[in-house]
Structure 1
Amino acid sequence: MTAMSTRAKIAVVTASAVLLGAVAAGYAATAAEPTRTPPPAAGDRAVTLTPGPRLLAITDRYVSAVAATDPSGPRAVSGLECLRVYAAAGTGVCLRPENAWSYQVVVLDSALRPTRTLSVPGLPNRARVSASGQMVSWTTFVGGDSYTASGFSTRTGILDTVTGATVTSLEEFAVTRDGRRHRSPDVNYWGVTFTADDNRFYATMSTQGRRYLVRGDLAARTVETVRENVECPSLSPDGTRLAFKEAVDATPAKGWRLSVLDLATMRVTATAETTSVDDQAAWLDDATLAYTLRADDGRPDVWSVPADGSGAPKLLIPGAESPSPLT
């Protein structure tokens, strides 16, 4: 099967309420699979988070690394099992199974050794580390919230790896929507991305059937809306743009277009990737995005595309997901 024919068969997830339940069910099925054994030649010493010209990813549920100059070539695969992984400045975060039905956020040092572990409710979905390596964030799907039509919602937390200060849920923060204080029991957050000061961040907030880009302040414990229909933001290394998934016609049932928001002008540029992207893209550099697409059989591949709308999508790491540049 060619790369393009695989791309053409990628499924589009529908309706936001259905999305939460369907995706959560998929994560549950994946997480319930028996623990897999990494390749015999693999070893933790082969994969480090030390900054360098390599890309981190997950291969068959194990943390792996490839050369940035040859991402489709040989890869090192560790013995560390994660459902999501991300790293920056020698610090990593791994969302991994604790047992069959519970999960952990694990902070990693450059040698993949755990330095802090938190048990979290729900099914792993997003993970990020700030550029300095100090701040870590995660999002999980959670069941049982009666105010959602599907019975699923999200929980997003933040950990300061230096002080140990932990926000277990951004739902504790005060919200300003369109210039006015907003209170609603249905507020949900996902997809945090940090600014360079390790205090401010961007994320997605949903409430009353609408999805917003919000700008947050950790010290003040506040968020404010910036723009509608911006999901899973990812801040560029130069801090000027946000990659995000934009629901087609503001309707998640129609899928998402991977796009880029210029923070100075609020101008949106759609990338050349026209397949629906349900992921929080990673910036490989100031010009290039990486993201995961899944074929209809569930197989993930990491693709890349220019951030300025030019060019064409390129298969980057076959059979992998959760990409992260080791900056």
Structure 2
Amino acid sequence: MNALRTAGATALVIALLGTAAATVAWKGSAAEPGTGGLRLTQPGTLLVVDAEDTRVHQKTRQGEELGTGPDCRRAAVAAGTLACLHGLPGPFSSEVRIYRPGRTEPEVTLPVWGKPSRARVSPSGHLVAWTVFRSGDSYAASGQFSTTAGIYDLRNGAHYGSLEDFTVHVDDQAAQSDDRNFWGVTFAADDRTFYATMSVGGRTHLMRGDLSTRELTALRTNVECPSLSPDETRIAYKKRVGADWQLHVLHLQTGQDTALAAPAGIDDQAAWLDDATIAYSRAERGRPFVYAVPADGSGQPVTLTEGSSPTLTTDARRPTP
């Protein structure tokens, strides 16, 4: 890993020790005690980030407003845990703010060097992942951005740092090149297995990671921003087709790859609403909207609501051995 990234990771750990959780007032009514307007343990509701006020809004899948939460650029929720990737003034600065039911302020606040890109929470609510855009890496051309991704465990406070610190295997060979970039983490229910995108040498790979061994293994090329289905059999992702991205679903066991009935040019990490339906965000007339589309390639997209960074509130799924 190059020296600049190593220095950044060290500074992050030092900053964590001295950072107090910032108080964020939440507004709304008829919510859980202490959680303002967001009902984090009400399964089946949709959380989106509003383009105008940049706050998290909770809605029904029919678009009815239920409550408003903290200021986020990217958000994710599962099993009562809300991860909010919050942008800060200054060059490439962010905070990961983690909220739990019954609290009006973050339970954990993590400073991150970079601009908000992606966020995810594991099905159990125990693990939080984020991706940020960065600049200044030694291998990058002037003005070129890179990405970095990290994972935090709420149970014991374990900070896994950057995925660049993991051992990486591509075609049974170790891949330790300095130009590795990671983004778009998605978790399995065992609180150990996860998937992410890695770019190295101009190619993107779907990576399967293991937190217990701190290893990542390449499974397939041309897979970006994976999202694991609730039944853990498929990955929704964006695939580069010519000059655009197209949403696809990959069956992990059979390798069957299905293009979805969504327009080209979607730059988003999709979210599963259930085992048969995928949500994504796409800008129309300069404003982001959330759409739903069948996961089997049939049908047509249906508009759900205005906003971005869609994610669904869920009950905790018990980790598997």
Give the TM interval when normalised to the shorter protein: 0.7 to 0.9
SS in 1 for 2:191: coil
Select the residue among 239, 255, 258 that pairs with 2:232.
239
Q: Given that residues 140 and 146 in structure 2 are in contact (C-alpha distance below 8 angstroms), is that contact kept between their aligned partners in structure 1?
A: yes
In structure 2, list runs of 5 or more residues that go unmatched: 1-24, 315-321
Q: Given that residues 121 and 129 in structure 2 are in contact (C-alpha distance below 8 angstroms), is that contact kept between their aligned partners in structure 1?
A: yes
Please say if 1:109 is aligned against 2:109: no
Q: Which residue of 2 aligns with 1:5?
A: none
Please say if 1:95 is aligned against 2:88: no
- Give me the whole-angstrom Cα distance separating, in 1, the residues matched to 2:268 and 2:188: 19
Q: Given that residues 42 and 77 in structure 1 are in contact (C-alpha distance below 8 angstroms), is that contact kept between their aligned partners in structure 2?
A: no
Task: Map residues 172-321 of structure 1 onto 2, 5 A cutoff.
Answer: 172-249=165-242, 254-297=243-286, 299-318=287-306, 320-321=307-308
Q: Which residue of 2 aligns with 1:27?
A: none
Q: Given that residues 186 and 207 in structure 1 are in contact (C-alpha distance below 8 angstroms), is that contact kept between their aligned partners in structure 2?
A: yes
Residues 42 and 275 of structure 1: CA distance in aligned 2, closer, same or farther (over 3 Å)? farther
- Give me the whole-angstrom Cα distance separating, in 2, the residues matched to 1:40 and 1:278: 31
1:245-291 Cα offsets, whole Å, 9 max, x none, are 00004xxxx11000000001111000000231100000000000011
Residues 227 and 40 of structure 1: CA distance in aligned 2, closer, same or farther (over 3 Å)? closer
In structure 1, list runs of 5 or more residues that go unmatched: 1-36
Please say if 1:124 is aligned against 2:111: no
What amino acid maps onto 1:288 in structure 2?
T
- Give me the whole-angstrom Cα distance separating, in 2, the residues matched to 1:65 and 1:158: 25
Q: Given that residues 134 and 162 in structure 1 are in contact (C-alpha distance below 8 angstroms), is that contact kept between their aligned partners in structure 2?
A: yes
- Give me the whole-angstrom Cα distance separating, in 1, the residues matched to 2:235 and 2:208: 12
Q: Given that residues 301 and 315 in structure 1 are in contact (C-alpha distance below 8 angstroms), is that contact kept between their aligned partners in structure 2?
A: yes
- Give me the whole-angstrom Cα distance separating, in 1, the residues matched to 2:42 and 2:26: 24
- Give me the whole-angstrom Cα distance separating, in 1, the residues matched to 2:234 and 2:303: 23
Q: Which residue of 2 aligns with 1:48?
A: 39
Q: Given that residues 279 and 310 in structure 2 are in contact (C-alpha distance below 8 angstroms), is that contact kept between their aligned partners in structure 1?
A: yes
- Give me the whole-angstrom Cα distance separating, in 2, the residues matched to 1:106 and 1:94: 5
Q: Given that residues 47 and 57 in structure 2 are in contact (C-alpha distance below 8 angstroms), is that contact kept between their aligned partners in structure 1?
A: yes
What amino acid maps onto 2:138 in structure 1?
S
Q: Given that residues 57 and 65 in structure 2 are in contact (C-alpha distance below 8 angstroms), is that contact kept between their aligned partners in structure 1?
A: no
Q: CA deviation at 1:97?
A: 2.6
Residues 51 and 39 of structure 1: CA distance in aligned 2, closer, same or farther (over 3 Å)? closer
Q: Which residue of 1 aligns with 2:18?
A: none
- Give me the whole-angstrom Cα distance separating, in 1, the residues matched to 2:26 and 2:83: 20
SS in 1 for 2:296: coil
Q: TM-score, normalised by structure 2?
A: 0.83
1:207-253 Cα offsets, whole Å, 9 max, x none, are 0000000111111111010000000000000000000000004xxxx
Count residues with an aligned counterpart: 282
Residues 264 and 204 of structure 1: CA distance in aligned 2, closer, same or farther (over 3 Å)? same
Q: TM-score, normalised by structure 1?
A: 0.82
Q: Given that residues 240 and 264 in structure 1 are in contact (C-alpha distance below 8 angstroms), is that contact kept between their aligned partners in structure 2?
A: yes
- Give me the whole-angstrom Cα distance separating, in 2, the residues matched to 1:227 and 1:257: 16
1:290-323 Cα offsets, whole Å, 9 max, x none, are 11101352x11111100000100011112x1111
Q: CA deviation at 1:134?
A: 0.5
- Give me the whole-angstrom Cα distance separating, in 2, the residues matched to 1:308 and 1:317: 22
- Give me the whole-angstrom Cα distance separating, in 1, the residues matched to 2:171 and 2:207: 11
Q: Which residue of 2 aligns with 1:322?
A: 309
Q: CA deviation at 1:100?
A: 4.7
Please say if 1:67 is aligned against 2:54: no
